[in-house]
Chain A
C-alpha cells in the first residue's frame, strides 16, 4: 500500500535534486588528490639520483600539471566555440545538405594521427603552446560536433511543432526547447572532449608546448623510469579528475524533469 507513493516520492526527489549525492560524491576527487600527493612523496623518498631529483621537485611538477590543465582547458574551450554553433547550424533544416561535407572534414581531423598533425603544424607555424592547441582542437572537434547534432536531431519533432504552434520564434524554440532537451547528449560530448584533450595534451611536449608530457619525454630520453612513471601516473589521475568534473557539470547543467 505504501510502496507506490514512496516510489513516486523518491522519483520526484530525484527529479528535483539531481545533484544530491551527499559527501560521497566528493570521495572520488579526494582519492585522486591523495593518490597524486602520495605518489610524489613515495617517489621522492625512493632514492632518486640527482637528475631525477631535479625534475621531480614539487614546484616543477606543479608547473607542468598546471600547463597541462591550461592546454586542456584552452583546447576544450576552442572545440566548444567551434563545435557547438556548427552543430546547431547543421541541425537546421536548410543546412542539411552541408552536413556530410562538414562531418567529413571533422572526421579527417580525428582520424589523422594527432602526433603527426602536431609535428606537421610545428613545421609550418613553429613550436609552442598555441600550435599544440590547434592540433588538439583539430583532433577534438568531431565528438563534440557529432553529439551536438545527434542531441538536437533526437528532440521530438512534435515538441518543436508545439513550440512553433504556441507562437515561439524559431530562435526561441532553439533556446527554450531544443537546446535544453539536447543538453544531456551535448554535455556528454563535452565530457568526452575533455577527457580526450587531457590524454592527447601529452603530445604538446614534442613541440615544446608544455604539460605533463614533458615528464614522459624527459623520462624516456634520460632513461629515468621514475620520471616516466610519474608523468604517466599524473596524466591518468588528471584525466580521472577532469572526467569527474565533467560528470558533475553534466548533472548540474542538464535540465530537470527529463
Chain B
C-alpha cells in the first residue's frame, strides 16, 4: 500500500519539514523465515501524531525502532525531518529523536533532574542552561520542579515516572518523538490523565509523534492518523480516526476496531474537526453602530465580543445595543465556559446539555476563539460524517467493480 498522503488541511503553524518517510522498508531477523517488517511504505506528516496500531506480533514496535535505528533495516530508505536516517551516525540521529518507552525506562540511580538532563548533557549544554531547561520541562509535564527535581525514580508513582519519561524525551526539543506503548502499564485513570496531558502538550509543541499501541481506543483518542498494521507490518489502512471508524478498508480492520461506531464517533471525534458556526465578531473598542450593522448582515441576532488576544468575552445582542453609540465597551452578557477545540464531541455534547446556553464558543490553543457550536452543529457533523462514509463506500465498491 503506497500512501503518499498529502494532508489537505495542514494548519500553517505545523512544521511539515519534520515528517518521517519510510520507503520500501524491510527487516528480516537472522534465522527467521518471514520478515518482521515487509516492504513498508509510510509517510508520517510533520507536527502530527501518527499511531501504529496492531496486535502483538504485527511488527509495530519493530517498525518504530527502525526509525531511530535501534534496529537496522535490511532494505529500504528512511528519512527523518528531511535527512537520510541511514546516513547519519546512530547516536546523533537518536539525540534528535525523543524516545519514550513503557514503564518510562528512567535510570534508577539518577535523580529526576539528571535523567531529564541526559540528552542536553550529551549535547554539551552548560550546567545552568540544563538546570533551567529541566525546571521548564518539569513545569510542562505538571510536576513542580522544587518538589521533584532531586527525587529518585523509585520515589515516584508510575504516572509521575512516565511524565518524567516524556520530559526526558523532550529535553533537547527534538522535532520528532517515538513513543512505544508509553501508557500501557498504567491504570486506566492515570492513563486517561496522561493521554490528555500529551494532547495538551502536543497542542503547544506540534511535534511529529509516532505512537505505538495495541489499544484501539487509545489510538482513536491520540491519533491524528492511524496506521493499522497486520502481520509483517503490512499497512492494512492508514487514515484519520474518522475514516477508520466509518470506512474500514477491509475485513481485518473491521474486525480489529470492533463495533459501537456511533458512540466511538462521539467519543473520539474532536470539536475542532467539525464545521463550526460563524457568528459576527466585535471588539470592546468597536463602535456600536458598526456592530449593529454586522449583526444585521449575519444570520444571528447577536455577535461575540473578543478581547485583543481574540479570546471570547461576551455575547452582545441587538437589544444590548439599542440606543447605544460610541464603543460598545462592557455591554452584553457573559458566555458559557468555552469548549476547547481538542475536546471530544462527547465532551462538547455533555457541556451543551448541561448549560442553558444554546450557543457556546469554541477555543483553540491559548484560548483563541475559533467558532461557535450548538447541538445542531454536532448533529449535522455526525450526519455529514455518515453521509461521507456512505459515499466513500459506494465509490470504493464502484472502483472495485470496475
Contact = CB atoms under 8 A, between A and B. Distances in A.
Interface of A: 8, 11-12, 15, 158-159, 161-169, 172, 176-177, 180-181, 255-258
A166 B70 contact: no
B92 interface: yes
Given A257-B152, A257-B153, A166 B108 contact: no
A133 to B, nearest CB: 34
B122 A167 contact: yes
B152 A166 contact: no
B101 A258 contact: no
Contacts of B106: 162
Nearest to B65: A165
Contacts of A255: 109
A165 B155 CA distance: 24
Contacts of B95: 166-167
B155 A256 contact: no
A128 B94 CA distance: 56
A255 to B, nearest CB: 4
A162 B105 contact: yes
A256 B122 CA distance: 22
Contact of B68 (A165, A168, A256): A165
B129 interface: no
Given A8-B155, A162-B106, A169-B91, 4 more contacts: A12-B151, A162-B101, A168-B118, A258-B108
B111 interface: yes
A257 B94 contact: no
Interface residues of B, number: 29
Contacts of B29: none
B153 A162 contact: no
Contacts of B154: 15, 257-258
Nearest to A165: B99
A163 B103 CA distance: 14
B103 A158 contact: yes
A12 B154 CA distance: 10
B110 interface: yes
Contact of A167 (B94, B102, B108, B153): B94
A256 B119 CA distance: 21
Contacts of A167: 91-95, 119, 122
B252 interface: no
A38 B95 CA distance: 63
A177 B107 CA distance: 7
Nearest to A181: B109
B162 to A, nearest CB: 12
Most chain B beta carbons < 10 A, residue from A159, A165, A167, A176: A167
Contacts of B93: 167
A12 B152 CA distance: 9
A117 to B, nearest CB: 39
B107 A165 contact: no
B70 A257 contact: no
A257 B110 contact: yes
Interface string B103-140: 10111111100000011001000000000000000000
8 contacts: A8-B155, A162-B105, A166-B118, A167-B95, A167-B119, A257-B109, A257-B110, A257-B111
Contacts of A258: 108-109, 154
A168 B91 contact: yes
Contact of B94 (A15, A165, A180, A181): A165
B140 to A, nearest CB: 18
B70 A164 contact: yes
B48 interface: no
A166 B170 CA distance: 10
Contacts of A162: 99, 101, 105-107
B180 to A, nearest CB: 9
B155 A15 contact: yes
A162 B108 CA distance: 12
A162 B118 CA distance: 11
A207 B134 CA distance: 61
A161 B94 contact: no
A194 B168 CA distance: 40
Nearest to A254: B109
Most chain B beta carbons < 10 A, residue from A11, A257, A258: A257
Contacts of A161: 70, 101, 105
Contacts of B94: 164-167
Most chain B beta carbons < 10 A, residue from A162, A180, A181, A255: A162
A12 B111 CA distance: 12
